[in-house]
Amino acid sequence: MPKLPSVTRRKFVQRLHALGFEGPFAGGKHAQMQRGNVTLMIPNEHEGDIGPGFLTRLLRQAGISRDEWLGQ
């Protein structure tokens, strides 16, 4: 199975919105997004693109499958 592609923070937030998340909301050092009882800390804008490894960890924390993320 190939790695997930890197994604910009903007595209990451747009995709989370499409998957039912709300936000981002201010929350300490990092903004947060919520869906139901799941709260996900999202990277700051100045940190650059979200690489495949970090993206995989964020999706696991959010309860989003690889197929769901890729829209399959």
Query: 70, 27 in Cβ contact below 8 A?
Result: no
**Mean pLDDT, rounded, for 54-62:** 97
Distances in whole angstroms, Cα of residue 71 to Cα of each of 29, 42, 65: 30, 20, 10
Domains and CATH numbers, the chain: 9-70 (3.30.920.30)
Predicted confidence (pLDDT) at residue 2 exceeds the cutoff of 90: no
Q: Which pLDDT tens digit goes with each residue over 19-55? A: 999 999 997 889 999 999 999 999 988 878 999 999 9
**Which of residues 71 and 19 earns the better pLDDT score?**
19
DSSP 8-state code for residue 69? H
**Mean pLDDT, rounded, for 49-70:** 96
Distance of CA 18 to the CA centre of its chain: 11
Query: Quick one: pLDDT at residue 14?
Result: 97
Query: Quick one: pLDDT at residue 68?
Result: 95
Query: Quick one: pLDDT at residue 25?
Result: 95
CB atoms within 10 A of CB 48: 11
